[in-house]
A and B are shown apart, each in its own frame.
Chain A
Amino acid sequence: MGELMIGLYVFVLATLTGREVITKVPPTLHTPLMSGANAISGIAIVGAIVVAGRAEGALQTGLGIAAIAMAMINVVGGFMVTDRMLGMFRKR
């Protein structure tokens, strides 16, 4: 089986897993869910590091650095703001 096909299997199964896990998140946590999921989409940082690490020439280097900066805004900002919000959910 080619790598593309394996990737598709993984993609479909992960989508179904995500659906199962996320439909059970209560509406009260939907904003933190969204900002947390948002932070997870910053996983593009992995691709950005790979690209920046093997960049050849100014164009690729520039693209790689920009990708890293954008992904890190997403990752650091996303997880921090989610934590800040969840810290406010208290039961009295």
Chain B
Amino acid sequence: MNLDHPLIEVAYLLSATLFVVGLKRLQSPATARAGNALASLAMLIAIIATVVDAEILTWNGILVGVVLGSLIGAVAARRVEMTDMPQLVGIFNGFGGGASALVAIAEFTGNPAVGLGSTGITIMLGSLIGAVTFTGSFIAFAKLQGLMTGNPITFPGQNAFNAVVFLAVLTLAATAMGVGGLAAPTMTLFWAFLAGALVLGVLVVIPIGGADMPVVISLLNSYSGLAASAAGFVIGNMVLIISGALVGAAGLILTMLMCKGMNRSLANVAFGGFGGEVAGVDRSQIGKRPVRRADAEAVAAELGYVNSVIVVPGYGLAVAQAQHELRKVGDLLEERGVDVRYAIHPVAGRMPGHMNVLLAEADVSYDKLFDLDEINDDFPNTDAVLIVGANDVVNPAARDPSSIIAGMPILDVDRARRVIVMKRSLSPGFAGIDNDLFYLENTLMFFGDAKDSMSDLVREVRELA
């Protein structure tokens, strides 16, 4: 803290307060946008206070960095498709973590003989967390963007190997702080430590499957906050410590919610190599049982002459870019007097709340979106459910204790009077198991590409008497 300039500290305090108030306004969609504006004002105040306070010797470099970074950030924010939001947040996380790591690294290069003490330890922590966040986020980005396989990359003894790398990184950090009195130059040890930390970020993310990326992105979000806090300890700045802690808490809460939505522990997500081929599951019978098929005309009749419809959107909807057509179907049904609501599973989409953003973009009113706890009791009283591109989150097998998805919270769609599943084929979802829902007596399968099927449905609903 800088007690010679109390005004600067007051500005930082104001900034930290506005961050909290801004986040608080995110508690309602009506005030959220103002909350985000408040948080960006808080950031501006912190930046101005820093520029005024820091003894800046050379401006050119700073301006180059500010202009370059702002341009890249602004272009990315304007251009990104809403379906690609998880990757964008992922890569932004990476840059945040990277920036925090660079602050810690620069401090070390200025004082390589820092030794073992609170400053040394915070520098090492900031560099380690920041570096892991940096490379880990890039791997998550590459997986989500399809630049590399979304399947888990595993090899025998992987967890043991990662543990050894982690211990080596910690040992190098300790020796760089002079522990053990090695003859090697401190800077060399530090660079080796840093290289190890960067490799560690890659190693911890590659064994995690594409559909588990929401958990990873949330966790890396938390890390980017912790890295900022650590950088705050390094340079003795409270606003960094506070903001970093807020982000750390946010990321951790979302991580835990995602895990709960899949009924899996964080350890299972991180080390389980879930997804891809699952051993011990008989896949030969998938899709072999008879189903009841329906075309767009029949589906329109099932939806158009009832009182209540609940739509269950899944990631397949976003992949097919069918959310706008879906909203048209919803509008037409409402014009006919049908009560239309949307049930959103916690892990629908590729990040927490992703499906809500996609539907908001398609102009679906946010008061029609309900989460699992709010709507699950209403299915028995619902005339028809329309499932678009969702699979595991509506699989009744979750109620069977012997299933690999046993205990996962599901939307109880099978309890509605009529279930319509819009899907390309009978292929299994991420969990790799068959879905008994498809073969139930009250289920109709409406096969085809979600966007084409939805366009057909718009036309057929229009033609209803």
Contact = CB atoms under 8 A, between A and B. Distances in A.
Interface of A: 2-4, 6-7, 10-12, 14-19, 21-56, 59-61, 63-92
Nearest to B356: A28
A37 B250 CA distance: 7
Contacts of B118: 2, 4
B19 to A, nearest CB: 6
Closest 9 CB pairs of A and B: A72-B69, A77-B73, A68-B65, A30-B353, A18-B249, A76-B73, A14-B245, A53-B56, A30-B352
Given A49-B50, A59-B109, A44 B61 contact: no
Candidate in A3, A40, A48 with the most chain B CB atoms within 10 angstroms: A40
A8 to B, nearest CB: 8
A23 B23 CA distance: 11
A3 B238 CA distance: 10
A31 B43 CA distance: 20
Given A4-B233, A75-B73, A70 B95 contact: yes
A35 B262 CA distance: 22
B239 A78 contact: no
Nearest to A87: B33
Contact of B99 (A34, A61, A67, A83): A67
B55 interface: yes
Contacts of A35: 85, 88-89, 92
Interface string B203-233: 0000000000000011001001101110111
Contact of A91 (B70, B100, B365): B365
Interface residues of B, number: 112
Interface of B: 1, 16, 19-20, 22-24, 26-30, 32-33, 35-37, 39-40, 43, 46-47, 50-51, 54-58, 61-62, 64-66, 68-70, 72-74, 76-78, 80, 82, 85, 88-89, 92-93, 95-100, 102-103, 105-107, 109-110, 118, 217-218, 221, 224-225, 227-229, 231-251, 253-254, 257, 344, 346, 351-354, 356-357, 360-361, 363, 365-367, 369, 371
A81 B39 CA distance: 13
- The A contact surface, by secondary structure, is helix
A73 B43 CA distance: 13
Candidate in B62, B92, B228 with the most chain A CB atoms within 10 angstroms: B92
Given A15-B248, A38-B221, A77 B92 contact: yes
A86 B366 CA distance: 11
A64 B73 CA distance: 18
A50 B102 CA distance: 12
B54 A54 contact: yes
- The B contact surface, by secondary structure, is helix
8 contacts: A3-B1, A28-B371, A33-B353, A44-B96, A45-B47, A53-B58, A74-B73, A92-B365
Contact of A65 (B65, B250, B367): B65
A54 B36 CA distance: 32
Contact of B65 (A11, A48, A84): A48
Contacts of B257: 27, 30
Contact of A32 (B26, B43, B47): B26
Contacts of B354: 31
A88 B373 CA distance: 24
A55 B88 CA distance: 31
A20 to B, nearest CB: 9
Given A27-B344, A27-B356, A76-B70, A47 B103 contact: yes
Contacts of B250: 18, 22, 33-34, 37
Given A31-B354, A32-B353, A40-B225, 15 more contacts: A10-B238, A14-B242, A21-B20, A32-B357, A41-B96, A41-B225, A41-B243, A42-B96, A43-B239, A47-B99, A60-B110, A68-B66, A75-B40, A77-B92, A86-B29
Contacts of B16: 14
B219 to A, nearest CB: 11
Contact of A75 (B43, B242, B369): B43
Contacts of B237: 46-47, 50
A37 B221 contact: yes
B351 A81 contact: no
Contact of A39 (B40, B46, B66, B232): B40
B26 A36 contact: yes
A70 B99 contact: yes
Contacts of A59: 109
B220 to A, nearest CB: 10
Nearest to A27: B371
Contacts of A52: 56, 61-62, 65
A42 to B, nearest CB: 5
Candidate in A29, A37, A59 with the most chain B CB atoms within 10 angstroms: A37
A72 B63 CA distance: 11
A47 B77 CA distance: 24
B96 A51 contact: no
A65 B61 contact: yes
A89 B73 contact: no
Nearest to A4: B118
